[in-house]
Structure 1
Amino acid sequence: MAPHVLLDQDLCYRALTGRDARFDGRFFVCVKTTRIYCRPVCPARTPKRENCIFVPSAAAAEALGYRSCLRCRPETAPGTPAWAGSEASVARALRLIEEGALDEGSVELLATRLGIGARQLHRLFVRHLGASPQAVASNRRLLVAKQLITETELPLSEVATAAGFQSLRRFNDAVRTVYKRSPSELRRGSKVTEAQASAAICLRLGYRPPFDWNRMLAYLSGRAIPGVEEVTEETYRRTYRLGDSTGTIEVANQPARNALSVRIEGAGPLPVRQIVARVRRLFDLDADPAAITAALGGDPIIGPRLTRARGIRVPGAFDPFELAIRAVLGQQVSVKGATTLSGRVVQRCGTPLAAARNGLTHLFPTPEALAQADLSALGLTTGRAQTLKGLAAACASGACELKPGTSLNTSVAQLVTLPGIGEWTAHYVALRALGEPDAFPTADLGLRKVAGGGVPIAPRLLEQMAEAWRPWRGYAALLLWTEPMLDPAVSSAA
């Protein structure tokens, strides 16, 4: 199947001529005369209609033999939503690929993790993205590599590793094949700013406007884990540990570019692709505000709230285990109380940084450390402490895998088998930690009160009401939590 047959070619051309940022990442234009593919917001002169082919993903463009534009830089485009609302397996596969599932693993192993066959996965990718899973993974490695080459002074050998290439030779060959230049030639043609030339890695991650950055920071600020996270009026900072690499991340908004700037400082081999994937999930950068508004804007309960919260995103999590622990600590206590408890856990069980910076003092404890820790005298009930240790032990042993890519039903079913974790906690973890947009904790008292106009309705009735909000029930839940239109006391500790 030709990858461009999935799109209305004339409609895409009209969108291209309008340079509307809302279409950025929805499709890419391949220009026959130059053999280059661009974003629909590219500043270059609009090509003639007969010279354009429109494809649903950057990988599809490269599969047709086109190379990426050096002006609009497709590597900074928002994530392609061609699969959104169409095939959940493709969505989960893309999340796993972003975190490097095919850098070392096989398509067969990826398909097994998704519970489908390799041939079926291949067919779904070609249908929705116009390229195979391997082609998508290869494209993501190349785009990350290109961004690191042109925006940083990271040694090229480290660029290759950070982008997910298994050898420097494969990295050189792939770059030369696609861009017709060697990595060093690409770097000579780039303009690296003084900030980018520092020891830190600075990248831009695109999103679709509008983006309510202030609302996002306000939500994260009240739930920031002391010592691990810090939120100011303009930035989000945190520590991280991924494999053998530890360090800090700082994220700020660049609204003029419709992008977030991400500054990474760390020791050890920097897992840039994994960090980027986690930051995208943390700030919900792949959300499509237009699609969410189309689905929820006309609802009598959610619509008015959405109007007041244009650009809303579901605050995610950088570390799913960290968020799951935070969710358990938040059971039946206030947001402030859960924050205090999480700070105590970090002080007792976390790893101190060699040099504290900007209020960041610790790495969050690993599942292994927390499973063996003494949690007495932290202000936790015996049951809550046992739930924390049980969750940590399950994650340490692999019995509970908190990884994006598992279906919502499977994730919830897995979590509720652990003592002390019910449906509310499981859905909350799925929503924020695993990036499931349709997660919806129907037992939440705050949601039931707001949906009932101040009087709690039965969970079953709320579940029936929420059917109209699929597959964006998670956004509806966040709007009900943060835009109750009632007395401020009617709120949730979420």
Structure 2
Amino acid sequence: MTIADAPPLVAAAADASIRWHPGASYRLDQTMFPLMRGNADPSFAAHPTGFWMSFTTPSGAVTLRLSAGGLGEDTFVDAQAWGPGAEEAISSVPRLLGADDDWSAFDEPGFHATLPRLVTEARRRNLALRLPSTGRLVDSLVPTILEQKVTTLEARRGYRYLMYRFGTKAPGSVAPPGLLVPPTARQWLAIPSWEWHKAGVGPQRSATVMRALQSAVALERLAGLDPSRAGAKLQTIPGIGVWTAAEVVQRTHGCPDSISVGDYHLASFVGYALLGRKIDDAGMLELLEPWRGQRQRLVRMLYLSGFRKPTFGPRMTIQDHRAH
């Protein structure tokens, strides 16, 4: 749906807007997908009128709506924003949508010829994908820390609880009902220990959030560094390791190479996809080494290939810290 198709109130009421032209085929849904913390993410909504998200800029909170139109090289994305942070949010839209994401090295014929067929076939079918860059470290780091060493289900349940308790209503009168602005660093730091407990977040993870956000201003400055330096800086914070840093820079910097070492499923998935057998993290890194610099792109293509690894094996136990 484009602005022309949107309800009149949505089309007319924005505080700031932009139409971005990627100059080639573009899939807004594929690009935005990694930013959603599940289908019930309180700060991100896939809606008939577009993709809606809410966050805080230095100028204040904002509600942002994105919708795509056109075909092929005529594709465009309309962005509208409401709230004190509208102008800043709109200025960040091209980067958010992957304007700086360059696949030319990945698609270069010599490099392309080295890729497994599963990857090249997936790339052929998914030329419209871009890696997004939010530039928002706090908004990415907190939910990623909550996902450390627990199931996705448990982490997202805890994140939703905290968002409903401490998030704020998204600016503007046209946002989908229930859309919330995530807490600022100061608001996260003010959450009492018993609320983390009620959210099912153990003391190790909540303490990591608190340590990281003590330097929130410095944290946000990492958006200006290249992904490898930003990831290395993140790992100097106790409780943040290679997995957390990789998951963050994939979203904040559109990093084409970072690999989530330590992920419960990733090494096994990559092993079965490329070798037909399970491997560990060390084996995954060795296997992907020839494609260093483009490893995250390769993993994204594996996920988009439709390949599914065997489902046998133990499942992680969901821990409930609230009863202790």
- Mean alpha-carbon deviation: is it higher for 369-378 or for 336-345? 336-345
The structural deviation recorded for 1:377 is 1.0
Cα 1:285–1:223 change in 2 (3 A) is farther
Q: Alignment partner of 1:331: what SS? A: coil
Question: Greater relative contact order: 1 or 2 (C-alpha under 8 angstroms, separation 6 or more)?
Answer: 2
Q: CA RMSD in A?
A: 3.2
The residue number in structure 2 matching 1:56 is: none
In 2, Cα distance between equivalents of 1:452 and 1:482? 16
For residue 47 of structure 2, what is the amino acid of its counterpart? T
CA deviations 1:18-58 (Å, max 9, x no partner) are xxxxxxxxxxxxxxxxxxxxxxxxxxxxxxxxxxxxxxxxx
Correspondence list, 1:469-488, <5 A: 469-483=291-305, 485-487=307-309
1:466 aligns with 2:288: yes
Q: Deviations over 1:416-464 (max 9, x none)?
A: 2223221111111112112322222344343321332253324333223
The aligned counterpart of 2:21 is: 206
- Aligned residue number for residue 391 of structure 1: 212
Mapped to 1, the partners of 2:12 and 2:47 lie a distance apart of: 25
- Larger of the two Rg values belongs to structure: 1
Residues 320-329 or 403-412, more deviating: 403-412
Corresponding residue to 2:138 among 321, 327, 338: 321
What is the aligned partner in structure 2 of residue 364 from structure 1?
A: 182
SS in 2 for 1:348: helix
Letter in 2 for 1:460: A
Q: Is 1:410 aligned to residue 234 of structure 2? A: no
> Are the equivalent residues in 2 in contact too, given 1:230–1:360 (CA < 8 A)?
no
| 1:232 corresponds to which of 39, 43, 47 | 47
**Which residue pairs with 2:240 in the alignment?**
421
Structure 2: unaligned runs, 5 residues or longer: 1-7, 317-324
- Aligned residue among 263, 287, 290 for 2:80: 263
Distance 1:468 1:436, change over 3 A: same
Cα pair distance change 1:417/1:222, threshold 3 Å: closer
Q: Secondary structure at the match of 1:448?
A: helix
Instruction: State the one-letter code of the partner of 1:202.
Output: S
2:238 counterpart SS class: coil
Q: Which residue of structure 1 aligns with residue 167 of structure 2?
A: 350
The one-letter amino acid of 1:365's match is P
Deviation per CA, 1:123-168: give whole Å up to 9, x if none: xxxxxxxxxxxxxxxxxxxxxxxxxxxxxxxxxxxxxxxxxxxxxx
Alignment of 1:45-444 (within 5 A): 198-221=13-36, 223=38, 226-232=41-47, 235-256=50-71, 257-267=74-84, 270=85, 272=87, 274-294=88-108, 297-298=112-113, 299-300=115-116, 302-317=119-134, 319-353=136-170, 357-374=175-192, 375-395=196-216, 398=218, 400-401=219-220, 403-444=222-263
Q: How far does residue 313 in structure 1 lie from its aligned partner after superposition?
A: 2.2
Give the Cα separation in 1 of the matches to 2:11 and 2:172.
Answer: 22
Does the CA contact (< 8 Å) of 2:101 and 2:130 recur in 1? Answer: yes
Contact 2:138 2:220 (C-alpha < 8 Å) held by counterparts: no
Secondary structure of residue in 2 paired with 1:452 = helix
> What secondary structure does 1:380 align onto?
coil
Number of equivalenced pairs: 294
For structure 1, the residue ranges without an aligned partner over 5 or more in a row are 1-192
Cα 1:448/1:386, change in 2 over 3 Å: same
Alignment partner of 2:54: what SS?
strand
- The answer as to whether partners of 2:170 and 2:181 remain within 8 angstroms in 1 is yes
Percent identity between matched residues is 19
The 5 Å alignment of 1:7-22 reads none
SS of structure 2 residue aligned to 1:246: strand
